[in-house]
Structure 1
């Protein structure tokens, strides 16, 4: 039976590819896409989401809900220096589709209640919407089946500051609320070491994707170019694909080859360490499972197959 899925996203580049996983993998029953302030301007993120849904041939089937346009207490911080507009300059067609009238947080709460204990939420942006749902509905935490979070680094380097990964840094207060809320199953996909070890596509991999010459592979190469260029300049060796990896892990946990339980705390006050994630391996009060290693070749092969398909118009 397909997994009831909700993807909470700040749609740009790899977020788009994560949406393709949710939209096209038959193991996923993607019930909603919820938008949260993150990578690029909010309205651009919404256009990017609809563009992706359209490329997957799913317009009108999966609703897009608008959520928080700002972090809980801090000004929004863009990552457009990394992603550009998130889709390589592509413009969303005038398709006539509009976001749902239902707020993202309300949709999240409703779907968790309707699919109590079964809904998997894939959070691949700042955790603002999730924190607002925790605060609004006392039953929300218990209703969610699993929460997959792309965020943080396991006591390692960040990608927006030396200490912090972008999604956590943008809204550390929200992250603190979420990780302290008591969700039964929180799975963390970290930036370092996991993403930059097992989820990087170098030029040879990008060339193999380009050679597919499908609608989706052409979209991937173009939308991914700014991220590839940035990540390559800072020494990563190719583009990083933590968001699509997170979406796939929500459907197929067997991709993970190593994971551990930790007590995860978020630094909200530090002058130089705002947004840092402290993974305590000695705690007896663990609150997350951190994926520490995945089968990177299998992940790439999955994406190659996904991007090689031509969705029905």
Structure 2
């Protein structure tokens, strides 16, 4: 059976690292390349983070491409310290001084469009950060989305609950214009793992500890990354968002990756048109769902709502058994 072909677009924080390792552990998947964008950390840190994840998993043959360092319009003022200042928990001291030589010379946007052209209708694109690279790709090559097999996005929200603004989710708020462009212009099958979907399908801290205590380099690496990060601290997470979703472990980007790797992980979804709001001080970056078709959108996307948690746990555990 032919392998599933993936491009992973990432702002590599700790949860991105988990998602990337999930893809690398899948026996029927070939990662054609990893494209980097700003988000959880600066673009330079993101590139280095991806290289470090690939090295830990002994998959350094996978090409890494540098993309956009900021949003399409203006500058982002979103905090970039949820996973530490470097995106990986500020625990890695042995940075590679030669990392730039390991990044491909080709720009991430060019690589995306080229790989889709070389493998028409075969490539799944998994977008784990702000959608800036994707938006520029469709502006430069309007036929790019039609050459993809499908698109999986971690981002946006479906109930108006925000995690960085009152109504907005981090990835979309970092670059609302790009999120708007992608959800208007990408007409390939599109699947969205929203912030609320991830939080409503969270896992127990007991599973988190069990997963990290596996005897493998990948598990030891992830245990190190989460060791000093408040996002993975049960004590630090006693915050207002528990009012909505309750306590538990959430590896946000892994939900979108899991859906791409195994479509039976998603047990329920909503198909409808969506709109990303670009105006206002409160709702800018919010994704609005249109289940009653008031906007008459020509393209409907699949919004994930319920997850097979047992299958999701298995994919997460397998990701840390390698190599």
Shorter-normalised TM range: over 0.9
Give the equivalent residue in structure 2 for 1:294.
Answer: 307
Deviations 1:1-25 (A, max 9, x none): 2111000000010000111122221
Q: How do 1:186-265 and structure 2 match up within 5 A?
A: 186-192=190-196, 194-198=197-201, 200-225=202-227, 226=229, 227-229=231-233, 231-234=237-240, 235=242, 236-265=246-275
Contact 1:55 1:216 in 2 (8 A): yes
Q: Note the aligned Cα RMSD (angstroms).
A: 1.7
Give the equivalent residue in structure 1 for 2:83.
Answer: 83
Q: How many residues align?
A: 307
Shifted more, 103-112 versus 279-288: the winner is: 279-288
Unaligned regions of 5+ residues in structure 2, if any? none
Give the equivalent residue in structure 1 for 2:322.
Answer: 310
Give the equivalent residue in structure 1 for 2:139.
Answer: 135
Give the equivalent residue in structure 2 for 1:5.
Answer: 6
Q: Could you tell me the TM-score, scaled by structure 2's length?
A: 0.90
How far the C-alpha of 1:224 sits from its partner, in A, is 3.0
Contact 2:18 2:319 in 1 (8 A): no
Give the equivalent residue in structure 1 for 2:183.
Answer: 179
Contact 1:36 1:67 in 2 (8 A): yes
Contact 2:25 2:318 in 1 (8 A): no
Give the equivalent residue in structure 2 for 1:160.
Answer: 164
Deviations 1:38-69 (A, max 9, x none): 1112211111111100011011x110000000
Contact 2:25 2:322 in 1 (8 A): no
How far the C-alpha of 1:185 sits from its partner, in A, is 0.5
Give the equivalent residue in structure 1 for 2:152.
Answer: 148
How far the C-alpha of 1:282 sits from its partner, in A, is 0.6
Deviations 1:182-224 (A, max 9, x none): 42211111111x10011x2432122212321321112222223
How far the C-alpha of 1:112 sits from its partner, in A, is 0.8
Distance in 2 separating the partners of 1:232 and 1:16: 24
- Distance of aligned partners of 1:135 and 1:82 in 2 relative to their CA distance in 1, 3 Å threshold: same
Distance in 1 separating the partners of 2:140 and 2:97: 34
Unaligned regions of 5+ residues in structure 1, if any? none
How far the C-alpha of 1:255 sits from its partner, in A, is 0.6
Give the equivalent residue in structure 2 for 1:110.
Answer: 114
Distance in 2 separating the partners of 1:106 and 1:147: 17
- Match of 1:298, SS state, is helix
Distance in 1 separating the partners of 2:97 and 2:23: 21
Distance in 2 separating the partners of 1:287 and 1:115: 24
Distance in 2 separating the partners of 1:54 and 1:87: 15
- Distance of aligned partners of 1:92 and 1:261 in 2 relative to their CA distance in 1, 3 Å threshold: farther
- Match of 1:212, SS state, is coil
Contact 1:38 1:77 in 2 (8 A): no
Q: How do 1:33-48 and structure 2 match up within 5 A?
A: 33-48=34-49
Give the equivalent residue in structure 2 for 1:26.
Answer: 27
